[in-house]
């Protein structure tokens, strides 16, 4: 599928179509085609990740006014997880439009969850650069809403990292409000 077909299928119009082309270009393809390809999607993925994080955070904040911060964090994490983003990417046919190198393609890289999720973030980064935050929100928020509705009962209530931080703060005597500053003599570089 060409980038133009992908854009049409997803009701996207780019003023700068080369941004979408770059978003759909995996580094393996760029490495194999250095003479004709200007760059891969990694920088756009970086930007798209930040934009998505903001939009997902705002989304859960506004849609769940009674939930505490910890639960909002879990909801946001579930929405922007590799599993969720790769599922959205497949629904949008990213795998069919993604330009990957021959070796990556032969190894199934085009359908790897991390590759799909990263590419979806790159598409969001490209859309943000091309049309701004509102257009990006208009595109991605319905997808997040659908995912949340479909997967609401599967969103984990256990957060391993958060639980570790909570238990470490109790065991090490940290005050939750001031973290590592609660221990006299500790600095950012102090070993734990």
* Confidence label for 159 from pLDDT (cuts 50, 70 and 90): low
pLDDT score for 147? 81
Structure confidence at residue 174 (pLDDT): 66
DSSP state of 109: G
pLDDT value at 61 more than 90: yes
Q: What local confidence, expressed as pLDDT, does residue 162 receive?
A: 67
Q: Which residues are catalytic?
A: 49, 121
More confident position, 56 or 189: 56
Helices and strands (H, E) in the chain, number of each type? 11, 0
Q: Is the pLDDT of residue 138 over 80?
A: yes
Cα separation, 164 vs 136, in Å, equals 34
Spatial neighbors of 177 by CB under 8 A, at least 6 apart, are none
What pTM does this model have? 0.77
* Structural domains in the chain, sorted by start: 3-157 (1.10.1520.10), 158-192 (no CATH)
> What's the CA gap between 94 and 123, in Å, rounded?
9
Which tokens is 74 given?
């879990």
């Amino acid at each position: 599928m060409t980038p133009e077909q992908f854009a049409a299928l997803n009701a996207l119009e780019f003023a700068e179509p080369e941004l979408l082309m770059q978003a759909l270009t995996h580094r393996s393809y760029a490495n194999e085609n250095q003479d004709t390809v200007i760059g891969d999607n990694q920088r756009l993925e970086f930007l798209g990740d930040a934009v998505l994080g903001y939009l997902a955070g705002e989304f859960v904040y506004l849609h769940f006014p009674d939930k505490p911060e910890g639960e909002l964090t879990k909801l946001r994490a579930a929405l922007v997880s590799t599993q969720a983003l790769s599922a959205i990417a497949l629904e949008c046919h990213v795998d069919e439009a993604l330009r990957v190198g021959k070796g990556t393609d032969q190894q199934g890289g085009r359908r790897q969850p991390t590759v799909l999720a990263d590419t979806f973030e790159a598409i969001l980064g490209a859309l943000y650069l091309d049309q701004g935050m509102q257009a990006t929100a208009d595109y991605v928020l319905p997808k997040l809403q659908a995912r949340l509705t479909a997967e609401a009962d599967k969103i984990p209530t256990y957060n391993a990292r958060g639980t570790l931080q909570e238990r470490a703060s109790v065991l090490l005597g940290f005050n939750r409000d001031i973290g590592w500053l609660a221990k006299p003599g500790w600095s950012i570089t102090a070993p734990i």
